[in-house]
């Protein structure tokens, strides 16, 4: 089954404790991206990757890091999480640029206290 998986689905952590949210796709997609969804703000793009070893900032990259060492994986790293990073995070992938249909993961709800 074609899918995007994210882990963990739910995470409660404390300020400053480094964490990684994993994202994996099995569709051999070139493009992957991370978004956060906040009430009243919709979906905002954090980082995206056009291909292996090629990443770039989206609209809200501050406080986040990403890496793309393999085509299928695109982890999101929070080196020192803060309460303003409490949000619902989605990973997505597509064949190419986001004008192609993107497939989204189920989401990771992160709470930073």
Partner 1 sequence: DQQVKQNSPSLSVQEGRISILNCDYTNSMFDYFLWYKKYPAEGPTFLISISSIKDKNEDGRFTVFLNKSAKHLSLHIVPSQPGDSAVYFCAASAGSGAGSYQLTFGKGTKLSVIP
Footprint of partner 1 (CB under 8 A): 4, 31, 33, 35, 40-45, 48, 50, 56, 58-59, 90, 92, 97-99, 101-107
Contacts of 1 (CB under 8 A, 6+ apart): none
Least Cβ distance, residue 15 to partner 1 (angstroms) = 27
User: Which CB, 16 or 98, lies closer to partner 1?
Assistant: 98
Least Cβ distance, residue 35 to partner 1 (angstroms) = 8
Contacts of 53 (CB under 8 A, 6+ apart): 68, 69
Least Cβ distance, residue 17 to partner 1 (angstroms) = 26
3-state secondary structure of 83: helix
| Geometric angle at alpha carbon 58, from 63 and 39, rounded to 5° | 75
């Amino acid at each position: 089954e074609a899918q995007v998986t994210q882990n963990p689905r739910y995470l409660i952590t404390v300020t400053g404790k480094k964490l990684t949210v994993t994202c994996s796709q099995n569709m051999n997609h070139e493009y992957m991206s991370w978004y956060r969804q906040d009430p009243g703000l919709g979906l905002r793009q954090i980082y995206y990757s056009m291909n292996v070893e090629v990443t770039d900032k989206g609209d809200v990259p501050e406080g986040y890091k990403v890496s793309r060492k393999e085509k299928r994986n695109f982890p999101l790293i929070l080196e020192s999480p803060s309460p303003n990073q409490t949000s619902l995070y989605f990973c997505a992938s597509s064949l190419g640029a986001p004008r192609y249909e993107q497939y989204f993961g189920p989401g990771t709800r992160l709470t930073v206290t």
